[in-house]
């Protein structure tokens, strides 16, 4: 049989030699190994002070994007909720009233937009489904809670801040397919 690694050793039932029987050399060998590990660099990351670097395409907490003028991009079409395999997204749509043009980009908007973070599996299907480039997954972490209710995130937690300096960078998630999709004339809604 072919060996999987070249580290395998043949096992035999031969009688142990005297040196092997008194165990001490083997014990010293083992102690040398543990001592070597004693001075080795630790692999632990001190979590709250240090954080592990995420992969570039990490899928964490969602963000509902605003456009350049600070209007919410979401039009409450419900495609994300349909696409969601975990059925984590619910929304209630509302019509934009006159005078609210600076708040909502489209004529229809999501009055309530909730994601249940306990159901969400962070697959990213919602951002793929979104025709308005409104929802993206970011490299932020969903924080732990003591109860279940706070895990249902509403618009207050999902929509990004108005302040241009506090906008959430989603350039890492704007993959090639997203950019290609943007250039499609048929969906020229981003003009």
Question: Closest Cα partner for 86 from 135, 60, 126, 120?
Answer: 120
Residue 16 CA to residue 152 CA, distance in Å, equals 64
Contact positions with another protein (CB under 8 A) in 113-152: none
Of the two residues 48 and 99, which places its CB atom closer to another protein in the complex?
48
Of the two residues 22 and 121, which places its CB atom closer to another protein in the complex?
22
Shortest reach from residue 38's CB to another protein, in Å: 5
Q: Interface with another protein includes 35 (CB under 8 A)?
A: yes
Of the two residues 37 and 97, which places its CB atom closer to another protein in the complex?
37
3-state secondary structure labels for all residues of 55-117:
CCCCCCCEEECECCCCCECCCCCCHHHHHCCCCCEEEEEEECCCCCCCCECCCEEEEEEEEEC
By CB under 8 A, the count of residues binding another protein is 14
3-state secondary structure labels for all residues of 30-51:
HHHHHHHHHCCCCCCCCCCCCC
Of the two residues 27 and 121, which places its CB atom closer to another protein in the complex?
27
Q: Interface with another protein includes 44 (CB under 8 A)?
A: yes
Shortest reach from residue 46's CB to another protein, in Å: 7
| Residue window 13-32: x/- pattern of binding to another protein, with contact defined by CB under 8 A | --------------x--xx-
Give the sheet arrangement for strand 152-153, strand by strand.
Answer: 89-95, 108-116, 152-153
| CB-neighbour burial class of residue 64 (10 A; exposed 0-12, middle 13-18, buried 19+) | buried
Among 19, 33, 82, 92, binds another protein (CB under 8 A): 33
Residue 127 CA to residue 120 CA, distance in Å, equals 13
Residue 70 CA to residue 182 CA, distance in Å, equals 19
Pick the stretch among 12-20, 41-49, 56-64, 133-141 that binds another protein (CB under 8 A).
41-49
Among 6, 8, 46, 171, binds another protein (CB under 8 A): 46
- Residues of this chain that bind another protein (CB under 8 A): 27, 30-31, 33-35, 37-38, 40-44, 46
């Amino acid at each position: 049989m072919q060996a999987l690694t070249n580290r395998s050793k043949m096992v035999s039932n031969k009688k142990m030699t005297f040196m092997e029987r008194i165990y001490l050399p083997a014990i010293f060998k083992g102690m040398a190994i543990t001592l070597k590990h004693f001075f080795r660099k630790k692999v632990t990351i001190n979590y709250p002070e240090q954080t592990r670097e995420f992969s570039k395409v990490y899928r964490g907490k969602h963000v509902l994007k605003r456009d350049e003028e600070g209007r919410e991009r979401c039009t409450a079409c419900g495609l994300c909720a349909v696409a969601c395999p975990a059925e984590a997204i619910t929304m209630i749509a509302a019509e934009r009233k006159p005078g609210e043009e600076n708040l909502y980009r489209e004529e229809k908007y999501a009055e309530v937009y909730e994601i249940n973070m306990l159901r969400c599996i962070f697959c990213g299907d919602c951002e793929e489904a979104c025709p308005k480039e409104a929802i993206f997954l970011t490299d932020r972490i969903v924080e732990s809670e003591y109860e279940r209710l706070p895990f249902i995130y509403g618009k207050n937690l999902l929509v990004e801040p108005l302040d241009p300096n506090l906008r959430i960078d989603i350039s890492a998630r704007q993959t090639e397919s997203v950019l290609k999709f943007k250039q499609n004339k048929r969906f020229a809604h981003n003009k």
